[in-house]
Amino acid sequence: MKIYPTKFEEVKLIEPVVFEDSRGFFMESYNEQSFKISGVNYSFVQDNHSLSCDAGVLRGLHYQLEPKAQTKLIRVIAGAIFDVVVDIRKSSPTFGQWYGVILSEFNKRQLLVPKGFAHGFCTLVPNTQVIYKVDEYYSPEHDRGILWNDPSLGIEWPVSNPRLSAKDEKHPLLRDAEINFI
């Protein structure tokens, strides 16, 4: 397993070792012990799985407020996404900055999204399936969002007219969002 740094110290890009043979491949997509040795040490309590039928579906930007904030470990098992995190820690020198990376069924990369970051993705091909571990349970009362195309963020999404949920169309701008990460 390789762990690559990103522009945010706490956000990690993880590449598993993939064993390919004539049948296909095998990989350990998660191993608590080796992740822990590499500094990725969380107690994941829930696995999520979403299917987006079309390319250009955008989900985000989402986060849960403290004390129900979630660390997320994201990967793609079918298709591809442009995965994005935004630093929403109020006292962070990189508050409001974003980072994006392609995760796909082919590169098998995983993105570790820590607490204090909003997260979203846009599908690049139809029938994209994303699965992710979280270290805190879903809590609708703590569920919040930021508008995907907030001009103050300047995220360079690969689509200009994405398909959004009704909820995601109505999120506030970062400057108006409820945030309780220090």
Ligand X SMILES: Cc1cn([C@H]2C[C@H](O)[C@@H](COP(=O)(O)OP(=O)(O)O[C@H]3O[C@@H](C)C(=O)[C@@H](O)[C@H]3O)O2)c(=O)[nH]c1=O
Tell me the residue number closest to ligand X, measured at CB.
138
Per the annotation, the verdict on 99 as an active-site residue is no
Residue 139, interface with ligand X (CB under 6 A)? no
Those residues with Cβ within 8 angstroms of residue 141's Cβ, 6 or more apart along the chain or in another chain: 68
Q: Determine how many CB atoms are found less than 10 A away from the CB of residue 104.
A: 19
Per the annotation, the verdict on 62 as an active-site residue is yes
Nearer to ligand X, 99 or 121 (CB): 121
Q: Rounded CA gap, 52 and 129, in Å?
A: 6
Residue 114, interface with ligand X (CB under 6 A)? no
Residue 26, interface with ligand X (CB under 6 A)? no
For ligand X, which residue of 56, 114, 120, 162 counts as binding (CB under 6 A)? Answer: 120
Residue for token pair 């409820």: 178
Residue 121, interface with ligand X (CB under 6 A)? yes
Q: Phi, psi (5° rounding) for residue 52?
A: -115, 120
Residue 59, interface with ligand X (CB under 6 A)? yes
Residue 50, interface with ligand X (CB under 6 A)? yes
Min separation Cβ 77 and ligand X, Å: 15
Compute how many residues bind ligand X; rule: CB under 6 A.
12
Residue 119, interface with ligand X (CB under 6 A)? yes
Q: Catalytic pick from 42, 132, 142, 171?
A: 132
Q: Rounded CA gap, 105 and 163, in Å?
A: 21
10 Å CB burial of residue 49 (0-12, 13-18, 19+) is exposed
